[in-house]
Amino acid sequence: MPLIIFFIFIILLNLLLNKKTRNILSSFKISFLISVVCTAIFQVLAYLQLGYLDPFFIIAVIVQLISAFIAGGIISFIFLKIKRANDGKGQLDD
């Protein structure tokens, strides 16, 4: 259940922060930053819940970073494609 919340949080942050981006490079930079921040927050919360540092936290951090970046990158890519397809129509602009 915590991983589902983790990925929902990553998807929502990517959707919110990629509203203003126009190119794919800045979109992936945002996705990487979100991945790092969310992974750090998740590991701190796991430490607070367990009361000790998980012996395999380095492996967990690496796996979380990779999976969060891939999920965020896919969401960012899809969002940019939709935004470019609707460019000029104003459907995604506020």
pTM of the model: 0.79
Predicted pLDDT of residue 88: 58
For the segment 57-76, what is each residue's pLDDT rounded down to a tens digit?
A: 999 999 999 999 999 889 88
Query: For the chain, percent helix, then strand, then coil, each to nearest 5?
Result: 75, 0, 25
CA distances from 20 to 43, 53, 80, 82 (A): 29, 37, 10, 13
The residue among 17, 34, 38, 36 whose CA lies nearest residue 80 is 17
Domain ranges of the chain: 1-32
Identity (one letter) of the amino acid at 5? I
Predicted pLDDT of residue 86: 80
Predicted pLDDT of residue 89: 63
Low-confidence ranges of the chain (pLDDT < 50): 94
- Tokens 């999920």 label which residue? 71
